[in-house]
């Protein structure tokens, strides 16, 4: 199966991507993983990307796309893959479609993790990070009533990225950039939505049920 996973920050994409890919016996391919592999491996694309990152600039789309193309051409991706973090917009989606057509394949499905904005805020704004060991706790899910890490005794704090105003801004950016992508895949009749609220195992079960009709 060849699929793309989309969803807002806090929807649990990273966690679900691992479980789904494992259940389907296909590689999970994220842009972050691709970047790290190319940079640490010293590839020509990695060196080029590092030049941009060292300057604090965004890596151009063409470099990212070239990395994705190289990764999708590897042996383990020939029978299927799960893409997480790419494409991020409609132009990238159109490039991916052409790229796969050159390989003689096409996407089977685009799975959207659907979650209410207030639930995302609750998930992310409730996180607290230990200043000593780095472990993450949650004020609701871990029933944390104090600011002390139960693992090492360190003090807990809220990262700037996890503050409510920052989370809501990230959601605004996601809607601006990705809402057109979701509409694009809906028009292509590839989009399937899955309720991402509830326990991780339950969300995985829903996702696998949604994917079942599209499996070989």
Mean pLDDT of the region 175-180 = 86
Mean pLDDT of the region 29-57 = 87
- Binding-site residues sit at 10-15, 31, 36, 57-59, 85-88, 92, 127, 130, 133, 149, 152, 159, 170, 198
Instruction: Give the N- to C-terminal CA distance of the chain in Å, as an integer.
Output: 7
**What is the model's pLDDT at position 216?**
62
**What is the model's pLDDT at position 136?**
94
The contacts of residue 28 (CB under 8 Å, 6+ apart) are 17, 18, 20, 21, 81, 82, 84
Average pLDDT of the residues of the chain: 92
Dihedral class, residue 68 (left if φ above 0, else alpha if ψ from -120 to 50, else beta) = alpha
Whole-number Å distance between alpha carbons of 161 and 16? 21
Percent of all residues in the chain with a pLDDT value above 90, rounded to a whole number:
70
pLDDT digits (tens, 9 = 90+) for 110-154: 999 999 999 999 999 999 999 999 999 999 888 887 899 999 999
Residues with a catalytic annotation lie at 13, 88, 127, 159, 170
C-alpha distance from residue 111 to each of 3, 13, 92, 133 (Å) = 7, 10, 17, 35
Q: Note if the bond before 185 is cis, omega within 30 degrees.
A: no
Q: Sketch out the chain's domains with CATH numbers.
A: 2-26+79-214 (3.40.50.300)
**What is the model's pLDDT at position 2?**
96
**What is the model's pLDDT at position 51?**
87
Question: Token pair for residue 203?
Answer: 């969300």
Confidence of residue 33 (pLDDT cuts 50, 70, 90): confident
pLDDT digits (tens, 9 = 90+) for 52-73: 888 877 788 888 899 999 999 9
pTM for the whole thing?
Answer: 0.85
Confidence of residue 85 (pLDDT cuts 50, 70, 90): confident
- Binding-site residues for ATP sit at 10-15, 127, 198
């Amino acid at each position: 199966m060849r699929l793309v996973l989309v969803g807002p920050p806090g929807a649990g994409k990273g966690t679900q991507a691992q479980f789904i890919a494992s259940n389907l016996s296909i590689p999970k391919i994220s842009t972050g993983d691709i970047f790290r592999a190319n940079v640490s491996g010293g590839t020509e694309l990695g060196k080029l990307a590092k030049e941009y990152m060292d300057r604090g600039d965004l890596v151009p789309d063409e470099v990212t796309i070239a990395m994705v193309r190289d990764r999708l051409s590897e042996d383990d991706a020939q029978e299927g893959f799960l893409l997480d973090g790419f494409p991020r917009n409609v132009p990238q989606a159109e490039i991916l479609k052409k790229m796969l057509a050159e390989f003689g394949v096409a996407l089977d499905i685009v799975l959207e993790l659907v979650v209410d904005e207030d639930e995302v805020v609750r998930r992310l704004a409730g996180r607290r990070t230990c200043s000593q060991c780095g472990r993450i706790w949650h004020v609701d899910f871990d029933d944390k009533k104090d600011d002390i890490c139960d693992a090492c005794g360190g003090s807990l704090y809220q990262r700037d990225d996890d503050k409510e105003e920052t989370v809501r801004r990230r959601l605004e950016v996601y809607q601006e950039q990705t809402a057109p992508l979701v509409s694009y895949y809906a028009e292509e009749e590839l989009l399937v939505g899955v309720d991402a609220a509830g326990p991780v195992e339950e969300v995985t079960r829903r996702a696998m049920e949604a994917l079942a009709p599209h499996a070989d």
